[in-house]
Structure 1
Amino acid sequence: MRPATTLEEAYLAFDPGPLRGPALKAYYVDRPHNPSAEMRQILLTAPDEPHKLLFTGHRGSGKSTELNLLAEDAEIQQAFLLVPFGLEEILDPLDLHFLDILVAMEAKIYLAGREAGLSWPEELVRILADFWVPQGRKAGFLQEDETTSLSERLTGGFRHLVGPYGRLRLEPLTRQILRENLAGRVSELITHLLWLVGTVRSSLNRGVLIIIDDLDKPDLATARALFYERGTTLTQPPCKIVYTVPIALFYTGEFRTITRYFTARFVHPNINVQTRGGKPYPPGIKTMHQVVYRRMNQELIAPDALDYLVRMSGGMMRELTTLMRTSCNKARVAGKWRISLQEAKEAVDEVQRDYERILHRKEHYVLLRQVAREKRIRDVHTEGDETNILMELLHNLSILEYRNEESWWDVHPIVARLL
């Protein structure tokens, strides 16, 4: 894929979604303090060890792209049957239960094995069918059909459950029925996973690696319910799993307890575009310029417009791509062939208005001014409502974390315009 030569092409190139496939190879830019190499090393060390990793970062920092890069790694593909899925593809972020995740794991491993050419043993298929056919009838995703084999019926049922437009995501009644019927049968689900993983090892000579993206999308209360209250359960499946989690969870009092359940935790950093003292940081700015120039010719944006957008992005990958895409569109509407500082400022103004709508409490601004002044959050990390506000500001990207030799925090540059 070549860099865009027109603003129309550039608009398409700056899709703010995760990079994958040819776009990943063409557009990906690494960053300092990227933990992906450490994660990869843990995963490739003893493929049968059931390591469980937590992966976080601000929403839009590029976590999904890093997970796609991991899944496309040749050594990872050789060592594992890969079972990647996004929460929003097969589950409902607004109504999420730990049982939904276990059910999705079992269904996705079964389907991934079929897609890899694995013929599941008849005895295992019979055991799974004895378990799932009654559940499928009650929940409406698997029907009796004597004209097809048990294996085909199970495959079809799992596809109806966790495939595109699957019932586990779209049908609240299906979720309710499964949760009620499976509440006392968690050990059976874990046993199924043990048999499936063991069959993959004996038949394909590979381990199983599950990568669950978008688990940072639910609210903090849901994340606590999953990883604090059910952390022991989520670490029981006998394979390697990478869980994404909300960054706000790392700032809760329960987090130290949560880490005891998991092998390691990693933070995907934002890119420093300025120093802690507020001066431009050339290495980070250069990285962000590379992100832009991989996708479009540099003649399509004025240098001062690019510098402005990079600075106002706060080093957030999705923020930069969104601002670039908005700027492309505004320049096209104005009949221009390149982005000027005017379109860049108009794009930033739109994002600022979004923040104005959600930051409506006096307490928001008290904490934001303190973080902007101190560049840390320790002094505001107290109990009660103040902590809830801090978690909210971290979750909605008003406060961003950065890292040099040590971590520091700052207000999103666009939000800082409101102070």
Structure 2
Amino acid sequence: MATSNLLEAFRQTYQNFQLLPLVTDDKLDDFRIEYGTRVRLELEQVLEDCTDINNKVIFTGHRGCGKSTLLAYFSRQIRDNYFVVFFSIADMIEMSDVNHINILFAIAVQMMAKAEQDKIKIKESKKQKFYQWFATKTKTNLEEKKRELGLKFNLFSWIKTQLTTNYTTRNEIKQEFQRNISELTDQLDLIATVIREQTDKEILVIIDDLDKLDLGVVREIFSDHIKVLMRPKFRIIYTVPMAAMRDKNLRTIMQDESNNQVKLMPISKFFSK
């Protein structure tokens, strides 16, 4: 075997053994092993039992226990029955700047991006209203961007980039909706309603990597603003760090606001003889 081929084989082997979540279909097919069946069945049952006012799940577990891989596989298993949006908050927002407002805004962006990806047929007049709303809130000149980038321009890809890299954009969105958070949650429900009508499926959003936030940030989001996160009238699974469960006040708030729909990803314990 040529040296270059050996090097490539070594690199591929090294990548295959990295302890990273399996979140894409090809990685799940190649490397996933069966685990967490009971947790997945519990999550599925909770989702089936949801109502419009009782449809949020708090999901937690120890760091590195396999939550991300399990949620990715779970999202794939149920997508025949739900319009599933699964994303990592770390891919959308600078982790040091995550707050309840940009979590909800990220959900809106991801829902529209997934609808485009799946080629959901949304009435053109409604679609243009959605586009204009997002463009206005992010101060994006649609015509100017189309002239600059032509057919390459995709509004939601552009917004994702701005949310990830541009503090000014994130701050402007925060300032905008601090004064009127109801506008944001109402828009989320409107988007969900349109997608639900076109797909004949209930909406499920799964937000990964919120459990990687510092506990102080988690306290601010899930203690001070949890009622806002519970407003959207569709199913959402929020991940939180295990440390949040050890904070009695925070745990009580999350249990009360989610109607005790807090699910734990267990891990096995090994004992020496």
Q: TM-score higher than 0.5 here? A: yes
Distance, in Å, in 2 between the alignment partners of 1:104 and 1:120 is 20
Per-residue CA distance 1:8-62 (angstroms, 9 max, x = gap): 7653331211124243234333447852220122223468776111111111111
Distance, in Å, in 1 between the alignment partners of 2:30 and 2:129 is 46
1:244 aligned counterpart, secondary structure: strand
Partner of 1:231: 226
Distance, in Å, in 1 between the alignment partners of 2:65 and 2:155 is 36
> Which residue identity lines up with residue 217 of structure 2 in the other structure?
T
- Does the 8 Å contact 2:254/2:262 carry over to 1? no
Distance change >3 Å, CA 13–CA 157, structure 1 → 2: closer
Partner of 1:156: 154
Partner of 1:61: 65
- Does the 8 Å contact 2:204/2:234 carry over to 1? yes
Q: TM-score, normalised by structure 1?
A: 0.57
Q: 2:263 aligns with which of 263, 266, 271?
A: 266
What are structure 2's unaligned runs of at least 5 residues?
1-8
Distance change >3 Å, CA 32–CA 134, structure 1 → 2: closer
Per-residue CA distance 1:129-162 (angstroms, 9 max, x = gap): 453333222xxxx2141896xxx99x83322112
Partner of 1:186: 181
- Does the 8 Å contact 1:50/1:241 carry over to 2? no
Distance change >3 Å, CA 126–CA 247, structure 1 → 2: same
Which of the pair has the greater relative contact order for Cα pairs under 8 Å at 6+ separation? 2
Q: In percent, how many aligned pairs have the same letter?
A: 23
CA deviation after TM superposition for structure 1 residue 169, in Å: 1.4
Asked which structure has the greater CA Rg, the reply is: 1
Distance, in Å, in 1 between the alignment partners of 2:187 and 2:270 is 48
1:84 aligned counterpart, secondary structure: strand
1:118 matches 2:115:
no
Distance, in Å, in 2 between the alignment partners of 1:241 and 1:114 is 20
Q: 2:90 aligns with which of 64, 88, 91?
A: 88
Partner of 1:312: none
- Does the 8 Å contact 1:215/1:244 carry over to 2? yes
Residues 355-366 of structure 1 mapped to structure 2, 5 A cutoff: none
CA deviation after TM superposition for structure 1 residue 65, in Å: 0.6
Partner of 1:196: 191
Q: 1:177 aligns with which of 172, 176, 180?
A: 172
Q: CA RMSD in A?
A: 2.6
> Which residue identity lines up with residue 28 of structure 1 in the other structure?
R
1:78 aligned counterpart, secondary structure: coil
Distance, in Å, in 2 between the alignment partners of 1:201 and 1:134 is 25
- Does the 8 Å contact 1:47/1:79 carry over to 2? no
Q: 1:252 aligns with which of 247, 256, 263?
A: 247
Residues 6-405 of structure 1 mapped to structure 2, 5 A cutoff: 10-19=13-22, 20-31=24-35, 34-45=38-49, 51-73=55-77, 76-137=78-139, 142-145=140-143, 156-162=154-160, 166-254=161-249, 255-263=251-259, 264-274=261-271, 279-280=272-273
- Does the 8 Å contact 1:84/1:211 carry over to 2? yes
Distance change >3 Å, CA 228–CA 121, structure 1 → 2: same
- Does the 8 Å contact 2:196/2:202 carry over to 1? yes
Distance, in Å, in 1 between the alignment partners of 2:163 and 2:159 is 5
- Does the 8 Å contact 2:122/2:198 carry over to 1? no
Partner of 2:5: none
Partner of 1:327: none
